[in-house]
């Protein structure tokens, strides 16, 4: 397996959300709108090089979306600097549910709900002593 990519659904604000996440993650954004449905995105992808980081779409008008309670986006960071930067960037305008802290599994970890109602987990495995 090359990896797991989380796919998000939005109710009309997919472009706004994916533009925000792309800025935070330093990723390239691809958008494909629905034909004949104003302001709705059929498919969005954030990528770095050949690696897809996150995908999303809007639902069709009138299709309900339950935001943020059916999944978590888990980000595995490579450094303490990276976890702190990403946690702050994605958490802007959101709510921290567990501040970044060292854990019993030898990681620095935190959780938040972003301003779009999406649940995020951030994990950085600490160097072995």
5 phi, psi to nearest 5 deg: -115, 125
User: What pLDDT, on a 0 to 100 scale, did the predictor assign at position 70?
Assistant: 59
92 and 50, same domain (yes or no): no
Non-local (6+) Cβ contacts of 97 within 8 A are: 111, 112, 113, 119
Q: Residue 68's pLDDT band (boundaries 50, 70, 90)?
A: low
Using only the alpha carbons of the chain, give its radius of gyration.
16
82 and 120, same domain (yes or no): yes
Instruction: Write the CATH number for 86.
Output: 3.30.720.110
Domain limits for position 121: 73-125
Q: For the residues of 36-69, what is the DSSP string, one character each?
A: TSTT-EEEEEEEETTEEEEEEEEPPTT-----SS
Q: Tell me, yes or no, whether 109 lies in a domain.
A: yes
47 and 86, same domain (yes or no): no
Res. 1: pLDDT tops 90: no
Q: 17 or 68: whose pLDDT is higher?
A: 17
Q: What is the pTM of this model?
A: 0.78
Q: Tell me, yes or no, whether 63 lies in a domain.
A: no
User: Using one digit for the tens of pLDDT, what is the confidence trace for 101-129?
Assistant: 999 999 999 999 999 989 899 999 999 87
User: Using one digit for the tens of pLDDT, what is the confidence trace for 73-106?
Assistant: 989 999 999 999 999 999 999 999 999 999 999 9
How many structural domains is the chain composed of? 2
């Amino acid at each position: 397996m090359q990896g797991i990519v989380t796919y998000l659904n939005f109710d009309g604000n997919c472009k706004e959300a994916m533009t925000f996440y792309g800025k935070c993650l330093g990723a390239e954004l691809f958008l494909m709108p629905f034909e004949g449905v104003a302001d709705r995105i059929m498919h969005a992808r954030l990528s770095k090089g050949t690696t897809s980081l996150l995908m999303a779409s809007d639902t069709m008008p009138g299709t309900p979306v339950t935001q943020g309670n059916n999944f978590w986006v888990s980000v595995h960071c490579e450094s303490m600097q990276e976890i702190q930067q990403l946690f702050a960037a994605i958490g802007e305008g959101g709510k921290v549910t567990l501040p970044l802290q060292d854990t019993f599994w030898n990681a620095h970890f935190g959780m938040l709900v972003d301003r779009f109602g999406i649940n995020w987990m951030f994990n950085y495995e600490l160097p072995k002593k």
